[in-house]
Structure 1
Amino acid sequence: MVAEAALTGPDGETVGGVLVVAEQGYLSWLEVYTWQEEVEVSTATARRQLCP
């Protein structure tokens, strides 16, 4: 199973995203990415947006 979620910057513009891959019910791959070098995206910032 693969899922994707968009991450937004302070102005509401999409700046990156999160890809999650699960195999046999377990997390097998997690990627947090950004398209803009000046925007810092980490698992911590992704968690704050996805789990308010």
Structure 2
Amino acid sequence: MKCTACGGKGKIKAMGPLPRKTMCIRCSGTGAEPNMSAKKELKPLEEIKKWFWRK
């Protein structure tokens, strides 16, 4: 299914046999362009993995 808010650039995840109203992966239903230049926050587990792989 294509998102109507962002003009079909993102996709709506449909889980299960019945399509439910779920948020678009790309714009979260707002239609705004995602900020790709923003620094991605790491989850605590990913930070620990990154710290161990540095050594």
* TM above 0.5: no
TM-score by length of 1: 0.27
* Greater share of strand: 1
What TM-score, normalized by structure 2, do the two folds share? Answer: 0.27
